[in-house]
Chain A
């Protein structure tokens, strides 16, 4: 058996669960690189881009979207079974997405609010990340993912190396961009200090607080940050909503929003 690297093209599969398609679209938005990428990999399954679908196995599966129906659970297991490496792309796939707000709500009430015949709907009471159901080799964060980070991840897996994706906070990107800190100078409850870099720190550059769309960063200390904002006039509900957004069900944001919710306002006032 030869130990030389295979000259065959790696097989790429792109799959979608509950989502807006934005992260798959990021791949189609690599205008300058898309055609070059198509030379390097065989796009075996990518419904949004191609009618030609080939069966597995796949060297790399990119998975967008969260698990929110019973059929999804079966389908992700099958995709996992067919894939050498499985990478989740975007906030839905890595943390359940905006639709995970149902995890705190009455699912039946949600069904009744939106549908005249809720009994026809196949929907789980929770929306969860792919890694809650199957083993995942790498999670790429963002709502949406950054297309350059996405290309880096795809190239890394094609070449058999770890992706070089920073795990530090948005604050470093703000500094690099030369944006004046809006949390310090304007007291806006910016999630930048606990959010992973990757977006280019766009919100503070547009005079608004980061709303955490890349999810928690590696060294995040959410209680310290939220207590600072709460002491400074941000209401608990504002802080909870800031955390319960597109990455609501990411572990650190979830624990922190629950912590604020559980703590009586009176206890907070005496601290």
Chain B
């Protein structure tokens, strides 16, 4: 009698984009685990070539509807690096504010609509509302504050229109921003209470030590700028990114997976890594919250990522309030520049983790070459590794339970699969 069991989740749900999971067990032995991304390729790096650098932030935003600001930010920073542009402190602060809006909306979406239902056996956030109407409604209202920030600074929440190389097309006035303060203050208090509610969830135990990587900045909780820091290797500058990491193909999967060059080990990006590496730089109330609900010892439990997200929501709300309170209407919307050929790279912290872009610019101000490495591409190998680590404690369960639990684990990384559409999908049968 064959002891082989195949567990296939044909369509992962409550994630952004489309993917599948294939597990093959031989009795109690794990034979194969594959996270398959069948999102069709969209060829962003190829279609950017020949376009004016002014068009890049509009085009790269379209990589992802949940984190368009992340793509805009990594793009403009990389292009500014190529053109030796340094933005003004006012522009820099407003870019962080815009990014705060995205972290708030993206994290709140993940916490309340995508991930929390898993802790209560619910199929959706809508179903969870029947048990926790107050919490889900408050969670959605917090998300709405993030969207409001994006709408004022960017024109709209999905694919904002105001970001450009050198700054913004138009600076918002103080009068546009200050009416948000009362709702931000409500959201800050609500998010701290909601974080307590989330901390009371029943967390599966899954601690597997791995390398955590996040950007680190000496003066602030890193979002737009910094060096690349790790829990296991020395910190290095972003322009050395490609010396340290590569996107490789592995034998069991045709998907591109990022690894450290010269190593076979995977690494983890995202809120858990950021809170672990930059916890002292959280806003005061977020730092207090982190001490209470997410001690350092917890940051290796993948299921605790939902706690790290709530901590970052609180940090972003507190920072947004402070930024708006001290904001004076600035006149200079962007720093002018001279078009010239060059090469530039940058990484920023997308809600799901480090996002790297590089661009070659031709002397007429067009894109000659582009490379984009999204966070999910980098986390994908870690996800597969963790599934292998998590499976032994599930192996005696029914196939359906195993599938559900694995899907839950995948969801904690909040993988953004559309972003990763330059992955290779699994179609190849190997001998």
**A260 CB–B CB distance under 8 Å:** no
Q: Contact partner of B18 among A31, A47, A97, A111, CB < 8 A? A: A47
Q: Contact partner of B425 among A24, A47, A121, CB < 8 A? A: A121
B43 touches A22 (CB 8 A): no
**B339 CB–A CB distance under 8 Å:** no
Residues of B within 8 A of A97 (CB): 42, 62
Within 8 A of B (CB), among A211-254: 211, 213, 238, 241, 245-246
Q: How far is the CA of A50 from the CA of B11 in the complex (A)?
A: 11
Residues of B within 8 A of A246 (CB): 58, 62
Nearest CB of B to A128, in Å = 12
* Interface of B: prevailing SS: loop
**B210 CB–A CB distance under 8 Å:** no
Nearest CB of B to A103, in Å = 10
- Chain B: interface residue count, which band? 35 or more
**Interface stretch (choices B137-145, B266-274, B298-306, B350-358):** B137-145
Residues of B within 8 A of A202 (CB): 155-156, 161
B40 touches A123 (CB 8 A): yes
**A84 CB–B CB distance under 8 Å:** no
Residues of A within 8 A of B14 (CB): 47-51
**Interface stretch (choices A112-120, A155-163, A164-172):** A112-120
Q: How far is the CA of A50 from the CA of B62 in the complex (A)?
A: 24
Number of residues of chain A lying within 8 A (CB) of chain B? 64
Q: Contact partner of A49 among B40, B126, B158, B407, CB < 8 A? A: B126
Within 8 A of A (CB), among B71-89: none
**Interface stretch (choices A1-9, A11-19, A130-138, A263-271):** A11-19
A205 touches B43 (CB 8 A): no
B159 touches A213 (CB 8 A): yes
Nearest CB of B to A189, in Å = 12
Nearest CB of A to B34, in Å = 14
**A149 CB–B CB distance under 8 Å:** no
Residues of A within 8 A of B45 (CB): 113-114
Candidate in A22, A68, A117, A203 with the most chain B CB atoms within 10 angstroms: A22
Least CB separation from B123: chain A residue: A52
B13 touches A206 (CB 8 A): no
Nearest CB of B to A16, in Å = 6
Q: How far is the CA of A238 from the CA of B13 in the complex (A)?
A: 41
Nearest CB of B to A102, in Å = 6
Q: Which 4 A-B pairs have the closest CB atoms?
A: A22-B65, A50-B124, A52-B123, A202-B155
**Known pairs A29-B147, A48-B15, A51-B407. 20 more at Cβ < 8 A?**
A21-B17, A21-B65, A22-B64, A34-B140, A35-B136, A50-B14, A50-B126, A69-B40, A97-B42, A98-B47, A99-B42, A102-B46, A111-B41, A113-B46, A122-B425, A122-B427, A123-B40, A206-B161, A207-B333, A245-B59
Q: Mind listing 25 A-B residue pairs with CB under 8 Å?
A: A20-B68, A25-B66, A29-B143, A29-B158, A31-B143, A31-B147, A32-B144, A34-B126, A35-B129, A48-B16, A51-B13, A51-B124, A52-B123, A53-B13, A97-B42, A98-B42, A98-B44, A102-B47, A105-B47, A110-B47, A114-B422, A120-B427, A144-B156, A144-B158, A207-B333
Q: B: which residues have CB within 8 A of A?
A: 11-18, 39-47, 49, 51-52, 55, 58-59, 62-66, 68, 109, 113, 117, 123-127, 129, 136-137, 140-141, 143-144, 147, 155-159, 161-162, 164, 168-170, 249, 254, 256, 333, 407, 418, 421-422, 424-425, 427-428
